[in-house]
Amino acid sequence: MIQFKPGEINIICSSLEQSRRFYCDVLGFEPVSEEGGAVHLQCSGRLYLLLPVAARPAGSPPYCAQPEFSMDLMVAEIEAAAAYLRDHQVTFVRAWHPGAVSFIIRDPDGLVWEIIQQNA
């Protein structure tokens, strides 16, 4: 059987400046290099590529209403993460509430990230 391994994850965005601010300044991804108008980022050993080639989205459909990828980010303190993201005006798809082990946010282009309590 052929074995597949994920490589770099491409994040197709409409604005490099907005996406870079979200991923680096808010989520803490680290810039690694720039190449041809794109930026390579790293987070927890995983590589990402911000690729600013998309048109500005007209709006985001409800979560799970169409085929899409969503990715997880693990955190040690979910309540603190929710408060931090609210303070940074991040868009919530599903808000955190006491006792919940996850919540869902969107990046500036509407891409979905689920924030999950690490020990849940």
As beta bridge partners, residue 91 has 106
**φ/ψ (deg, to 5) at 43:** -150, 120
Q: What domains, with CATH codes, occur in the chain?
A: 1-56 (3.10.180.10), 58-120 (3.30.720.110)
pLDDT in tens, 61-80: 777 766 677 889 999 999 99
- How high is the pLDDT of residue 46? 92
pLDDT at position 67, please?
Answer: 63
pLDDT in tens, 47-65: 999 999 988 767 777 777 6
Measured distance CA(20)–CA(63) in Å, rounded: 23
Looking at residue 6, its amino acid is: P
Starting at the edge strand found earlier in the chain, the sheet holding 30-35 runs 9-13, 46-52, 38-43, 30-35
pLDDT at 105: 96
pLDDT in tens, 80-120: 999 999 999 999 999 999 999 999 999 999 999 999 999 85
**For the chain, how long is the longest CA-to-CA vector?**
48
